[in-house]
Amino acid sequence: MLINTGSSKLVSASNPGENFYNDRFVDFNAGGDDKDDFPLMIDLEKATEYPMDSGADLLGMKDPHLLREVLENMQYLVRILDLDHNIIYMNRYMREQFGNLTGKHCHEVFHRMQRCESCVSSASWNSGKPEVKDIELDGRYFKLMSSPVQLESGQRFSIEMFYDITEQRHLEEELLSHYRKLTAELNFARNIQRSILPEDGNYWNTFKLSALYLPAEVLGGDLFDIIRLNKDKTLLYIADVSGHGVHTSMLTMFLREVVRGKHSEAAKGGLRVLMDSMMEGYLDLDIDPEIYLCVLLCCYNRSKRELSILNAGHNCFPLIVRNDGTVDEIAAMGMPISKLGNCFENEEVTVSLDRGERLVLYTDGIIEEFNIEEQKAFGAEGVKAILHENIGVDGQELAMKIVNAARDFSAEKPKDDRAIMIADVL
């Protein structure tokens, strides 16, 4: 910054013992504490051409001692290089840190035998603007900024400033370590969460199951399962915990354990036993009242070919693809499991479900996909349309078609978890 003042010359003494301090030339190192200071000469003749308010006099352009003191006392490491990458000036702070290396090649500060492959000074000369890079010196980290300078005489130099970022780098490395550890733990939790979901396949000669789960984040809040209650009854359910992230995934685990822990009682007492147990367990958790559980329970009686449904606030009603190709949406109302309502009074609905028919359960991440241009959501109608168009299509392929159609309808990144379970009656 001191070089680019309109001065006509910047030269170094060919004879270090020669006195360059006069009315026109300023020995920038005059009065220095180091006997080996490399003389840096600034021609101040043209400094008088600047008006008083230009800042030249305010910066003390004609006072070599003030100019030197400014750079010497900066808490940055400062040096000036010529085009041959020779150091022609180092301020006091840099000399104290690395010794006086004026007259040496720039890379010698880095204890290297040759110039850096990514020389920031060369880059700044080529671009004509300041360039920045991070470097390591003797176990410390610095942010190095190099700025090109060209005088009216055509001489070119590079001013470099080093800012110590060692503490910042160590903090970044610590944060990165914590991030990697957290990522590993989240991935572990994700794998556990996925492992508890049922695999596709035939279950007890009752259902052929095909399912798909796509969480919006690493951990999701959707859950589905299939459980054999006895030789005649099979339980299928799908659930959606409000929110995203760790707390939702933990609640899905809680929900799964409650259901599996009470399934033998449900075989005798029905779906109401499961619903009551989930509500009681939820209240015992004493969690934020804004967090709630939406659960759709379905119990299929194979001998009677009937499906009993109990809904706790799940806003995606079950769909049944009948043997004649029609698609029935079974309206089963009910309050969610929360501190704000009472799901103990939710009504149970029973419908027929014959061999060859298809039960479809899904979460609202699919139907809430929104098209901005049409100003409408994909909705249950979108799901039913895909079911109508794909009668007889394999369950896994059908699940993918539904999810992809909803995604294409929105054309935006999904904001919610998406889960779908298709159960073909055997």
pLDDT, tens digit, for every residue of 123-164? 898 888 999 999 887 788 989 999 998 888 888 889 999 988
Element (H, E) at 238: strand 233-241
Residue 249 has pLDDT above 60, yes or no: yes
DSSP 306: E
* pLDDT attached to residue 288: 84
* pLDDT attached to residue 62: 57
How far apart (Å, rounded) are the C-alpha atoms in residues 315 and 295? 9
Q: pLDDT-derived band of residue 266, with 50, 70 and 90 as boundaries?
A: confident
* Sheet with 319-321: strands ordered across: 201-203, 207-214, 418-425, 358-362, 319-321, 327-329
* pLDDT attached to residue 343: 60
- In the predicted model, what is the mean pLDDT of residues 20-39? 40
pTM score, two decimals?
0.67
Q: pLDDT-derived band of residue 42, with 50, 70 and 90 as boundaries?
A: very low
Higher pLDDT, 246 or 225: 225
Antiparallel, parallel or unpaired: β 358-362 and 77-81 = unpaired
Task: Write down the mean pLDDT value for the chain.
Answer: 82
Domain ranges in the chain are 25-164, 197-425
Residue 333 has pLDDT above 80, yes or no: yes
Share of the chain above pLDDT 70, in %: 84
Residue 46 has pLDDT above 50, yes or no: no
Residue 252 has pLDDT above 60, yes or no: yes
Write the CA distances from 192 to 138, 189, 249, 253, 379, integer angstroms: 45, 5, 10, 10, 31
Fold of 197-425: Phosphatase 2c; domain 1 (3.60.40)
Higher pLDDT, 341 or 152: 152
pLDDT, tens digit, for every residue of 62-82? 566 777 788 888 888 899 999
Pick the CATH number of 25-164 from 3.40.50.300, 3.30.830.10, 3.40.50.720, 3.30.450.20: 3.30.450.20
Written as six digits, the tokens of 216 are 């919006």
Query: Minimal CA–CA distance to 237: which of 298, 326, 150?
Result: 298
Return phi, psi of residue 410, to 5°. Answer: -85, -40
Element (H, E) at 166: helix 166-195
* pLDDT attached to residue 351: 96
How far apart (Å, rounded) are the C-alpha atoms in residues 2 and 41? 11
How far apart (Å, rounded) are the C-alpha atoms in residues 70 and 236? 77
* pLDDT attached to residue 306: 97
Element (H, E) at 27: strand 25-27
Residue 399: CA atoms inside 13 Å, Cβ hemisphere, count?
Answer: 22
- The answer to which of 2-11, 70-79, 136-145, 189-198 has the lowest mean pLDDT is 2-11
DSSP 398: H
- In the predicted model, what is the mean pLDDT of residues 305-334? 94
Q: pLDDT-derived band of residue 117, with 50, 70 and 90 as boundaries?
A: confident
Which residue has tokens 């139907």? 367
Count other Cβ atoms within 10 Å, centred on residue 25: 21
CA 391 to chain centre: 40
DSSP 200: S
Share of the chain above pLDDT 90, in %: 42
How far apart (Å, rounded) are the C-alpha atoms in residues 75 and 89? 16
Written as six digits, the tokens of 86 are 């020779």
Q: pLDDT-derived band of residue 346, with 50, 70 and 90 as boundaries?
A: confident
Residue 344 has pLDDT above 90, yes or no: no
Query: Minimal CA–CA distance to 258: which of 283, 287, 233?
Result: 283
Query: Minimal CA–CA distance to 89: which of 30, 15, 20?
Result: 30
* pLDDT attached to residue 64: 62
Written as six digits, the tokens of 393 are 């299509």
